[in-house]
């Protein structure tokens, strides 16, 4: 495993790889790595001849300065955790990534106006800025993203399509703790009690798929009412949408593929998750 910290070194290394015609699998991360990230890396390693991950807490996608300040950082631990699965780790500084100031403006239509886009204005533009720069520098054949960030995957697929990038976006299943809580770097900020209570998020989502109704409003009410039983939760949104367009629907029969997406605070920690209805 080689640790790379500059764009120039990254380009030099990857130029040699590309000349050899080897396929490159890329896993972008913001660090604080866990088994969910590792599942992406194992798949990348299985499907490509060369693997690289990035570890970079990207400031342009944070709307809340306090959230950025408290985002967990553990570079040395992260490197030790994944060094047997990645050929290269790209861990640049903010100054290195944004040597050219972030002035790019990307547009994703309806995809960026719902759910996370509504709750976190400019968030997806910040995501697009860093992902586009990483794609331009690394030029991978495949890039791997976890389905916990369901809306983000739709945004990145749109980005790839807009710029006609020859990159396959590979969505990978959510990895969960034994209690059902979706693995997330933010989970590190939860107390042990909060982690146990947060497991109810997935439990309630699962139960909502068994309700004998196709009316979205009734399902949303069930989820909101059940989660309101726990004092630590503050529900930001629970939207049930067309999985392809992310447009809200009124009835489960309104779209061929349907997903429910949630953003909820457990204490001071904002968590997201999702579940398929069909």
Q: What angle do CA 151, 152, 153 make, to 5 degrees?
A: 90
Q: What angle do CA 36, 112, 242 make, to 5 degrees?
A: 75
Coil, strand or helix at 46: helix
CA dihedral 130, 132, 137, 139 (to 10 degrees): 140
Examine the residue annotation and report whether 234 is marked as an active-site residue of this protein.
Answer: no
Active-site residue among 34, 37, 107, 234? 37
Cα–Cα distance between 208 and 203 in angstroms, integer?
Answer: 9
Q: How many CA atoms lie less than 13 Å away from 261 in the CB half-sphere?
A: 21
Cα–Cα distance between 201 and 264 in angstroms, integer?
Answer: 9
Dmax over Cα atoms in the chain, in whole Å? 59
Coil, strand or helix at 31: coil
Contact status, residue 190 vs residue 198, Cβ threshold 8 Å: yes
Cα–Cα distance between 9 and 7 in angstroms, integer?
Answer: 5
CA dihedral 55, 60, 63, 68 (to 10 degrees): 40
Write out the catalytic residue numbers. 37
């Amino acid at each position: 495993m080689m640790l790379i910290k500059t764009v120039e070194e990254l380009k030099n290394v990857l130029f040699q790889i590309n000349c050899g015609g080897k396929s490159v699998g890329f896993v972008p991360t913001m660090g604080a790595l866990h088994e969910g990230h590792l599942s992406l890396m194992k798949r990348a390693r299985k499907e490509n001849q060369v693997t690289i991950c990035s570890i970079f807490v990207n400031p342009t996608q944070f709307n809340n300065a306090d959230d950025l300040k408290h985002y967990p950082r553990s570079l040395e631990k992260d490197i030790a955790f994944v060094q047997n699965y990645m050929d290269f780790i790209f861990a640049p500084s903010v100054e290195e990534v944004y040597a050219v100031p972030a002035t790019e403006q990307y547009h994703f239509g309806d995809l960026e106006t719902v759910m996370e886009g509504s709750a976190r204005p400019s968030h997806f533009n910040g995501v697009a800025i860093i992902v586009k720069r990483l794609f331009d520098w690394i030029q991978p054949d495949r890039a791997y993203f976890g389905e916990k960030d369901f809306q983000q995957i739709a945004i990145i697929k749109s980005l790839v399509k807009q710029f006609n990038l020859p990159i396959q976006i590979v969505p990978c299943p959510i990895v969960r703790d034994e209690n059902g809580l979706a693995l997330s770097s933010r989970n590190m900020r939860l107390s042990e009690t909060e982690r146990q209570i947060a497991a109810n998020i997935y439990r309630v989502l699962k139960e909502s798929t068994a309700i004998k109704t196709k009316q979205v409003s009734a399902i949303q009410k069930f989820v909101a009412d059940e989660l309101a039983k726990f004092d630590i939760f503050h529900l930001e949104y629970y939207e049930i949408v067309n999985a392809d367009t992310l447009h809200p629907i009124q009835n489960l029969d309104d779209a061929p593929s349907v997903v429910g997406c949630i953003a909820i605070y457990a204490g001071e920690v904002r968590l997201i998750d999702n579940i398929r209805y069909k």
